[in-house]
Structure 1
């Protein structure tokens, strides 16, 4: 009986702190961020492969659509904000899971002549990213 009372007290305490301090309520989600990041980096690599494949087939990526990328095996995640800049056979992608604590990642082949690029943590960080895909022209790198 004493154990149940302690457990109930702990639940009330954590719930009360979560109401008083909303950032504490996000703590479990922030702890899961590394798992979100692993999914994001895998997705961004798949997207880069789809973009490179499309560029080889179509001669460039300027007019690429999400539907065409799906034909090359990349489908956006429901919880990821993705921005793709395209020009010629070069592209830059920034992707971030929209859940709290997730990092933004970038893949670019700009300056490689359309060859393979690299994934890295992006300096671009959106505080409240919105899930979806935006495709923009690549201007000035």
Structure 2
């Protein structure tokens, strides 16, 4: 009974503060961000595997589509913003969950001779990510 009272008090406090200070209403979502990040990391790894498999099968990733990647086992999450840059057999992926506090993750095989590379936390977050997948040409620079 005491635990329920404390939980109810916390909910009321967070709700009341959220009305007074909207940025504080996001606090519970920011606390959950590590869980979103784990899902994003797994999705990026699966995407990289799908891109590598597609490239091996077709000779490159220049013409890859989201539907093609689904055939290799990767389906985008409804809450993730994903940008894929492609050129020949090289690609770069940047993905971030759109919910507050989530980190952006990057995977690239550029400069690795088409081999595996490490998944990195991107240097900066996308300011206001929008869920969906964008595929663009990879250009030098």
Taking structure 1 as the reference length, the TM-score comes to 0.91
- Residue of structure 2 equivalent to 1:131: 131
How far apart, CA to CA, are the structure 1 residues paired with 2:45 and 2:23? 31
Query: TM-score, normalised to structure 2's length?
Result: 0.91
Which whole-Å CA distance do the structure 2 matches of 1:5 and 1:117 have between them? Answer: 50
Q: How far 1:120 sits from its partner (Å)? A: 0.4
Q: Choose 1 or 2 for highest CA Rg.
A: 1
Aligned partner of 1:61 in structure 2 is 61
Aligned residues: 139
Structure 1, 90-99 or 123-132: larger mean CA deviation: 123-132
2:95 matches 1:89: no
| Whole-Å separation in 1 of the counterparts to 2:70 and 2:97 | 19
Unaligned runs of 5+ in 2: none
**Structure 1 residue ranges without an equivalent (≥5):** none
Alignment RMSD, CA only? Answer: 2.1
SS of the aligned residue for 2:128 comes to coil
2-side partners of 1:12 and 1:93: how far apart? Answer: 41
